[in-house]
Structure 1
Amino acid sequence: MNEPKKSGLPEDNFQDPLEDYEPPEYADPVERALGEERVASMRITPYASVGPDTPIGDAIRQMADMHHACLLVSENDRLVGIFTDREIVDQVALEYDDVVERPIRDVMTTDPVYVHGEDTLAAAMCVMAVSGFRHVPVLSEDGRIDGIVSPQRVSEYLHGKTGVL
C-alpha cells in the first residue's frame, strides 16, 4: 500500500504541545480554588438591574434601599451598562440637583467588562484587577445577565470552600 507523500510543510511535523501536559501543582487550597473553581459555583446573586431610562435619582435611591454598590443596566435582557457608587461620586454628587431627573444612560459605564460563569475565579479576579472594577457582571454564554461577582463574594466563597481568608 502506498503511504501519502509528505509535502515538507510545517503541519507534516506537527506535535501537539499539550501531549505531555502536566496539570498544575498548587501551593495551597486557595490557589487551587482560584485556578479550578468556576464563577458559576459561587454566589453571583442577588443583583439589581434597571433600564437605561431610569432617572438617576431613582437609581441612587434603589441602591441605597438595597445596600448595593452598583446596578446593572439592561435593555431587553441584555447588559448595556453598569452604574456604580463611583459614578455617583465622580459624575453626580456635585451636580445632583441638575442631573437627578436625567436618565442613568447619561452617566453609566457603557460596554462594561464582564465574565462568564464558566470562567475561573482567578480569571474573574484578574478582570477586576486589570480593569480596576470592584463589580463585574456575569453573563451566560448567550449574553443574558446571570449575576455579578465582587471581591467580597469571591472572598466569602474561598473562605467557605477552603476555610482560609
Structure 2
Amino acid sequence: MKVGEYCSRAVITIDSDADLTAAAHMMRDHHVGFLIVVVPGQTVREPVGVLTDRDIVLQVLAKNVDPAALTVGDIMTREPMIAREEDDLGELLQGLRLAGIRRVPVVDSQGALVGIISVDDAIEVIAGLLADVSGSIRHQQQREWRTRKI
C-alpha cells in the first residue's frame, strides 16, 4: 500500500512570513490543527515546515509571548518528517509511531506538496481491510451453515 493512494489531497498551507494570528484564524476557519508551511512566491509548493495549534499554545501563549511579534516561520517545526507518494504506508506508520507524530506532508517525486497523510487516514484504511476480512469470514460461515442444513 502506497502513501499516495491514501493521503488526503486537500491541503491547507500557509506562508512562512504570515503572522500567527492569521495562522490561528486559518486553523479555525478550516477546522484543522495542522498547517503546512511553504515559502511565499515559489511556483512549486515545497513544504519547509509545519505548524500545529499545539505549537502556538506551547511556544507563544504559554510563555506569554506577543503573537503579533512573531511569524509562522519563527515557531514552525523546520525540516518536518515528509512522506513521498511512493512510500510504503506500513513503514510510514512505524516512523510516525517512533517519532510520536500523527500527520505529515506528502510530496511527489520532485518534492512538490501533493497531500497530507495522518494516522486517522491509516486507521480508516485498516478498518476497511478488517471489515473485508470479517465479511469473508462471515460469508464462509454462512456457506458452511447452509451446507450443513442440506
Q: Which moved more, 1:94-103 or 1:61-70?
A: 94-103
Q: Is the 8 A contact 2:7 2:118 kept in 1?
A: no
- 2:147 paired residue number: none
Q: CA RMSD in A?
A: 1.7
Q: Kindly, what percent of the aligned residue pairs are identical?
A: 28
- Pick closer, same or farther for the CA change 1:45–1:96 going to 2, 3 Å: farther
Count how many residue pairs are aligned between Structure 1 and Structure 2: 128
Shift of 1:51: 0.6
1:58 aligns with 2:12: no
**Stretches (4+) displaced over 6 A:** none
Q: Distance in 2 between matches of 1:72 and 1:113?
A: 11
What letter is aligned with 2:38? S
- 2:115 paired residue number: 147
- 1:128 paired residue number: 96
TM-score (normalised: structure 2):
0.78
The Cα offsets for residues 125-165 of structure 1, whole Å up to 9 and x where unpaired, read as: 1121121211111111100011111111111122234427x
TM-score (normalised: structure 1):
0.71
What letter is aligned with 1:82? V
Q: Is the 8 A contact 1:43 1:157 kept in 2?
A: no
- 1:157 paired residue number: 125
Higher helix share: 2
Q: Report the structure number with the largest CA radius of gyration.
A: 1
The gaps in structure 1 that reach 5 residues or longer are 1-36
Shift of 1:104: 0.4
The gaps in structure 2 that reach 5 residues or longer are 133-150
